[in-house]
Amino acid sequence: MRVDSASRRIAALREEVFRAFTDPGMLASWLPPEGMSGHLEHIDARAGGSFRMVLTYESGDGRGKTDEHSDVTDTRILALEPPKRVVWAVTFESDDPAFAGTMFMEWTLDALPDATDVTVEAKDVPPGIDPDDHARGLASSLEQLAQLFEGHSTRHVPTGA
């Protein structure tokens, strides 16, 4: 079983970081990796809930999984344990069998005195996702999550969409 992972220390309290997983505006701003924008079509941010996100490649170079320029994911929220753990089951909408199946993503938030260590493990990653690209994407998402709290974000961050 393939497992891709990444981690990042974020200069914010664990409860604040956890909110970025349940607030629609925050989630849509940090989850899409660099080079992509994201739009939530719906979200039910609770254990047993789900969200659907459309990720669009900003360069338009035609490498999408769903269509030429986008990836669409349907995500079931399997666990939501405030403020320490989130588990998602992510399915890509794609006709390409290389992207078939469900990827499980577990996010853990470990509290430190003035920061939070966030780790993500992606299990059962579809074989069509290049491991190096995925590592860069996970690291980019974590960097953008950190930027929400560390004052360096270049993305607009609406809350409570």
What is the CATH number that goes with domain 3-150?
3.30.530.20
Is 107's pLDDT higher than 80?
yes
Question: Which pLDDT band holds residue 153 (cuts at 50, 70, 90)?
Answer: very low
Model-level pTM greater than 0.85?
yes
Q: Which of 71, 42, 35, 30 is nearest to 54 (CA)?
A: 71
pLDDT at position 1 is 82
pLDDT at position 61 is 67
pLDDT at position 138 is 98
Q: Give tens-digit pLDDT for 22-41.
A: 999 999 999 999 999 999 99
Q: Give tens-digit pLDDT for 68-104.
A: 778 899 999 999 999 999 999 999 999 999 999 999 9
pLDDT at position 66 is 81
- 126-129 CB contacts, 8 Å cutoff, 24+ apart: 126/92, 126/98, 126/99, 126/100, 126/101, 127/2, 127/98, 128/65, 128/94, 128/96, 128/98, 128/99, 129/99
Percent of the chain whose pLDDT exceeds 90: 80
Tokens of 120: 């993500």
